[in-house]
Chain A
């Protein structure tokens, strides 16, 4: 296992965790852009652009792109978040150069008007699909309520209206501004021939014009508690989300925050699990730590029958009060560490999952960390660390959103 890095003259960074013990590899272009870099006029453009990257280049049609990936047995995929757009695929090592060449070409798309118009319909279908599934899309909504005029308030999907009104010229402008080499990192994991990897990248990406793509990372807004209701009459269940502030992505306390998430809200065996799921009060509940540049949140998410909402809220708040007053126990911290360690090792066996850990850590923390370093960081967390963190980021200041048939919260 060896970590390698290289930067092209135009600023494109190339990093890889090279592992000759495995039989496959994965690569991804990680672009530091997402909903937080948009404005009202172009809401949803990052995600729409992600779709357009598969629509062809001056030398390839969309059909060529799909066919060529399939010919190499590769399944290309992509996702867009508040602050990242990632294009990735696992592949067989013998196809490294060809896979890299196709992706590099896709990263300079034609953005043709005809393709833009067809894909617009697909995006609208995607939004409508989520609208029919009340649990989805609610996370975007609570980020808006919690972060208000902060960039992290922006929705990844946008709305049917913002997408319909979007013009191809706006997308081209956004692409020019954000997809410059200094804002992109090429990441590899698994059986990577790094010298050949960088040579292919230099050949295919070296001519991209160097430019800067700044991003503002203001601190999260000061806030108190607030409650909101989004009435969806056709929904069967009521869905509850609660956000409170937590350590940001570059904060070393993020490991403590992840373990707090596991102790309180893992989908099995956590405090919320025993109070809400084992008793049959709620359909599901989770509490997790989400981290961004300059900000982080604890997100609690539950679904239950509308009649059970007030009891569900009370139980969740009782769990919060109890832990804030009496702290965590050593036993539950040990179990959370054991789970976290096991998950890390299991996912590290697959280059296609390791890719996201290596790339995410590099972009969010500006560093490479081995699996062992990650495990050690979890093992070093103490009960007092966890208790102290909750004193600084109390659950008492929480933004709450209910989505479902209820007109108001009890």
Chain B
């Protein structure tokens, strides 16, 4: 058995997968507090907290913390999504347990030093400003803000007023409530000894005790059609519509349909929008997930004078998908998935994340054989019957660029 799961009494879950051909091990902590948990007047607070917890923890200053990780050869990373704050890293297998000890200090015993609040604020403000110079990224964030029910579309970077208003008490409160064992998932993948890992993680985290915090509920959605004026060469076109979550029995059918639209260079969007017409350099669609719903998002970026045609062709391709997918398209999708799954086995980092997210979405962990079986069981008929039963719903269109576009029909 290569997958191991242990739930600790305090609500934290350890999921692990042995990858015997590797000499490395990777870990990924999903802490159940993300930007959806930002208070209304403190947009960006969760990211601010993520910045502050790295400014010293346990007996270490921030410098000692980073030095210790470097000596262990840990490539660390952290990010804030809608639902989680994620801390991850990969290193040589022998260094896994010492690396987890360092992260236990980070998660349980950060100093959150008041004298470093202003430096932390500057870092957060810089990140926010940086996005202004990345129009494609900015457009996607604004699409999600409008399409997802509030507060589940709040960008993690926050806004200037929220970051400016944040006090050390806000940071400490958000940390005290949000960083909690209930719902925290630690995913580990690569080379390790399961018994040693389980007992080490138990020693580090079993004393962690914080009251549970309910997930924020769903509020209203934003504008379904919007344009953000932006002085740029290109117009950035973003579309979103509803789909099903990972836990839905129809998930693989929905996922398959999106991959026919945009997976591989023979997929429909790439061939019709870029290859045949040369309308843009970047065009894609993705299936994204919240725990209880899925969302298809689609992006195309092109010169302002060709943006209307790009939107029209992209929309026409999305609609044509609902006329059905062909057997050869499914064959290609299955071949791509087969090689993609094998390649994932060679990356301890990506497996550690996958199994942690499986636990969040499904309350169980799928091995690659199961995922492979689900993909192999797809037929054109099963995808097409899914499409018939799930017409495009709640379409949101957001454009960012020099001038607005004429919306396709179906967008109110």
Chain A interface (Cβ < 8 Å from any Cβ of B): 21-24, 54, 62-63, 66-67, 69-76, 90-92, 118-126, 128-129, 131-135, 234-237, 268-269, 274, 277-284, 303-305, 331, 334-336, 338-339, 341-343, 345-346, 349-352
Contact = CB atoms under 8 A, between A and B. Distances in A.
Contacts of A236: 129-130, 132-133
Q: Chain A CB within 10 Å — which of B90, B234, B265, B267 has the most?
A: B265
Given A24-B343, A234-B231, A283 B135 contact: no
Interface in B103-131: 118-123, 125-127, 129-130
Contact of A341 (B73, B270, B338): B73
Contacts of B279: 121, 125
A349 B335 contact: no
Interface string B269-300: 01100111111111000000000000000000
Given A70-B265, A345-B92, A118 B277 contact: yes
Contacts, number: 190
A73 B136 CA distance: 28
B212 interface: no
B67 A335 contact: yes
Interface in B30-55: 55
B59 interface: no
Contact of A346 (B24, B66, B121, B265): B24
A70 B92 contact: no
B302 interface: yes
Given A23-B21, A132-B234, A237-B130, A125 B337 contact: no
Interface size class of B (residues with CB under 8 A): 35 or more
Nearest to A93: B342
A123 B70 CA distance: 41
B335 A280 contact: no
A279 B130 contact: no
Nearest to B127: A283
B134 interface: yes
Contacts of A122: 274, 278, 280-281
A67 B72 CA distance: 44
B195 interface: no
Contacts of A346: 24, 75, 90-91, 348
B385 interface: no
Contacts of A121: 278-279
Contacts of B265: 54, 66, 69-70, 75-76
B219 interface: no
B303 interface: yes
Contacts of A342: 72-75, 91-92, 95
B47 to A, nearest CB: 14
B266 A125 contact: no
B59 to A, nearest CB: 18
B58 to A, nearest CB: 17
Interface string B334-348: 011111101101111
Interface of B: 21-24, 55, 62-63, 66-67, 69-76, 90-92, 95, 118-123, 125-127, 129-130, 132-136, 231-234, 264-267, 270-271, 274-282, 301-303, 331-332, 335-340, 342-343, 345-348
A71 B277 contact: no
Contacts of A350: 343, 346-347
A266 to B, nearest CB: 9
- Ordered nearest first, which 4 A-B pairs have the shortest CB separation? A280-B122, A342-B73, A73-B339, A121-B278
12 contacts: A91-B339, A125-B234, A125-B301, A125-B302, A128-B234, A129-B281, A236-B133, A269-B67, A282-B126, A284-B126, A342-B95, A350-B343
Given A23-B346, A131-B233, A343-B75, A120 B338 contact: no
B87 to A, nearest CB: 13
A129 B234 contact: yes
B79 to A, nearest CB: 14
A67 B278 contact: no
Q: Chain A CB within 10 Å — which of B63, B91, B130, B337 has the most?
A: B130
Contacts of A74: 339
A343 B332 CA distance: 34
A62 B276 CA distance: 10
Given A69-B264, A69-B265, 18 more contacts: A22-B21, A23-B345, A54-B265, A67-B266, A70-B336, A75-B336, A125-B278, A128-B303, A132-B232, A236-B133, A237-B129, A269-B67, A280-B118, A335-B71, A341-B73, A345-B92, A349-B346, A349-B347
Contacts of B278: 118-122, 125
Nearest to A95: B339
A108 to B, nearest CB: 19
Contacts of B55: 278
Nearest to B331: A71
Contacts of B282: 129
A89 B26 CA distance: 25
A303 B130 contact: yes
B371 to A, nearest CB: 14
Nearest to B116: A278
A339 B298 CA distance: 38
Given A63-B266, A339-B73, A24 B233 contact: no
B129 A283 contact: yes
A54 B270 CA distance: 13
Nearest to A282: B126
Given A67-B266, A280-B121, A280-B122, A22 B233 contact: no
A92 B342 contact: yes
Nearest to A340: B73
A304 B130 CA distance: 8
B117 to A, nearest CB: 10
B280 A125 contact: yes
Contacts of B274: 122
Nearest to A305: B129
Contacts of A24: 339, 342-343, 346
A349 B24 contact: yes
Contacts of B21: 21-23, 349
A269 B54 CA distance: 12
A71 B335 contact: yes
Nearest to A232: B133
Contacts of A279: 119, 122
Q: Chain B CB within 10 Å — which of A76, A121, A277, A279 has the most?
A: A121
Contacts of A234: 231-232
Contact of A334 (B71, B126, B132, B277): B71
Contacts of A123: 281
A353 B232 CA distance: 35
A237 B73 contact: no
Nearest to A341: B73
Q: Chain A CB within 10 Å — which of B70, B121, B301, B332 has the most?
A: B70
